[in-house]
Amino acid sequence: MSKEWPLWEVFIRSQHGLAHKHVGSLHAPDAGMAVNNARDVYTRRNEGVSIWVVRAADIVASSPSDKGALFEPSNSKVYRHPTFFPMPEEVKNL
Amino acid sequence: MYAQMVETGLKNVRSAEDMGEQERAFQARIDAGVKIEAKDWMPDAYRKTLIRQISQHAHSEIVGQLPEGNWVTRAPTLKRKSILLAKIQDEAGHGLYLYSAAETLGVSRDELLAALHSGKAKYSSIFNYPTLSWADMGAIGWLVDGSAIINQIPLCRCSYGPYARAMIRVCKEESFHARQGYDIMMSLAKGTPAQKAMAQDALNRWWWPSLMMFGPSDAESVNSAQSAQWRIKLFSNDELRQRMVDQTVPQIEYLGLTVPDPDLKFNAETGHYEFGAIDWSEFHNVLKGNGPCNRERLRTRVKAYEDGQWFRDALVAYADKQAVAKAAA
């Protein structure tokens, strides 16, 4: 009766105030076991205060071939960075 | 090295003329130090070689729990027992990180485990030696995990993103393993003459197999040259082995133990230790399945997996039942 357990992606919040960060993945039969396993696999040394698990199949990802269309337009918009605007030495707090 | 003699399936190192446009772009990214990610295009041989290398590494972590499991119930103190358990749990974790990394290349967990359990997949030769005394727990942590660290630190910079990230996690945890091993050796070396003799005996038995872990000289190997070009192997076996000897000999001297190699001597000119010839027939014999514990390790591993089947089935039955109930609600 054995069937492969679904894959879960694991996200850990390392400290209060920081965002959850992807740390890896694991297999588990259901969400509850995925959290339990994530505790054992990814937080053996106090790495976290909170765990999210998401079925890998439910994640929608951009494709590497879309990289140009998605990210190139922002290359030409350097004015979005504050360093685009040089400020005179004597002007402070900007 | 936890992955030994990984085949690339290629007869010659790929040259720019052999490559199509896609492969040239792929190689250019690697040369520029850009990580390859799971969904990126990659040559079939790169994918297959990585699956072999990462899964062999993962299997080594899993089988590597068995020699140490032998001493959990006989650890000398509760503290040593807790530490040993924590180390073994780490090895299981390392196996899981690595299986996950291998799976990003399109192979399933069940396929990987089936290959291990059928004896088709290899794992490191080192785990086919017996653990005869408590001192072996010290020697393994210190020498075996020590060798693994030397091999794994460069892999944190390898070209395949998921593998590199798994290696970073593994390396962070592995230093604890090496130190707890050396701590055991220090206690024994400072103990009674019988305890010190036990430490020396463990060193005698683990020294050469630890040096063999790096695999035979691969200066002439097409597989290694190709893996180097793909940046999934960053140093030659001999370079890594030399590093191991150079850093370990002073540690042995500190313990007041003797290196079991009459030919060992320091070369002041090169700054490196020269060491005696390694018995590669022993290595090849262990790799072929004829080491002291090959059959026992595999048998124990398969039994553990089969004995856990009812539990895994129960978890699936429960998950299915809950899913049905949720759908009906």
Give the CATH number of the domain where residue A59 resides: 3.10.20.520
| Residue B25 in contact with partner chain A when CB distance is under 8 A | no
State which residues form the domain around A46: 7-80
Give the gap in angstroms from C-alpha A43 to the nearest C-alpha of chain B: 10
The model's pLDDT over A1-37, given as tens digits with 9 standing for 90+, comes to 457 899 999 999 998 889 999 999 999 999 999 999 9
Residue A91 lies in a domain: no
Of B96, B109, B313, the CB nearest to A1: B313
DSSP string, B21-38: HHHHHHHHHHHTTPPB-T
DSSP state of B181: H
By residue count, chain B amounts to: 329
When pLDDT is cut at 50, 70 and 90, the band that residue B220 belongs to is confident
pLDDT class of B296 with cuts at 50, 70, 90: very high
Strand partners, A7: A27
Q: Note the pTM of the prediction, 2 decimals.
A: 0.92
On whether residue A15 sits in a domain, the answer given is: yes
Q: Is A89 inside a domain boundary?
A: no
A1 domain residue, yes or no: no
Say how many CA atoms lie within 13 Å of A12 toward its Cβ.
Answer: 21
pLDDT at residue B143 above 60?
A: yes
Determine the pLDDT at residue B224: 92
Q: Is A25 part of any domain?
A: yes
In a domain, A2, yes or no: no
pLDDT of residue B299: 96
What the block records as the tokens of B96 is 């899981």
Contacts of A23 in chain B (CB under 8 A): 169
Please check whether residue B188 is in contact with residue B141, taking contact to mean a CB–CB distance below 8 angstroms.
no
Look at residue A18 and tell me if it is in a domain: yes
**Number of C-beta neighbours around residue B179 at 10 A:** 14
Instruction: Give me the DSSP letters along B123-136.
Output: --GGGGS---STHH
**Domain presence at residue A61:** yes
ipTM: 0.87
User: Do B93 and A64 count as a contact with CB atoms less than 8 A apart?
Assistant: no
Nearest-10 Cα torsion for B124, B125, B131, B137? -40
Q: Do A24 and B173 touch (CB under 8 A)?
A: no
Over chain B, what is the mean pLDDT?
Answer: 95
CA–CA separation, B121 and A5 (whole Å)? 22
Q: Residue B189 corresponds to which amino acid?
A: A
Q: Which residues of B1-17 are buried (b: 16+ CB within 10 A; e: fewer)?
A: bbbbbbebebeebbeee
> Each residue of A41-94: pLDDT tens digit?
999 998 899 999 999 999 999 988 888 899 998 889 999 999 999 999 999 998
Strands A50-55 and B272-274: unpaired
Residue B1 scores a pLDDT above 60: no
Tally of domains within chain A = 1
Enter the tokens of residue A47: 């790495």
Class of residue B22 by CB neighbours under 10 A (exposed 0-12, middle 13-18, buried 19+): exposed
Residue-level pLDDT at A2: 57
- In this complex, do B169 and A33 lie within 8 Å of one another by their Cβ atoms? no
**Cα separation of B18 and B14, whole Å?**
6
What is the C-alpha separation between A78 and A83, in angstroms, rounded?
A: 9
**In the predicted model, what is the mean pLDDT of residues B184-206?**
98
Each residue's pLDDT tens digit, B162-182: 999 999 999 999 999 999 999
Q: What is the CB neighbour count within 10 angstroms for residue A42? A: 22
Q: How far apart are CA B62 and CA B92, in angstroms?
A: 6
Among A4, A40, A61, select the one facing B110 at the smallest CB separation: A4
Predicted confidence at residue A52, as pLDDT, reads 98
* Run of H or E including B311: helix B309-328
Q: Any idea what the Cα angle at residue B158 is, between residues B157 and B161, rounded to 5°? A: 95
What pLDDT score was predicted for residue B55? 96
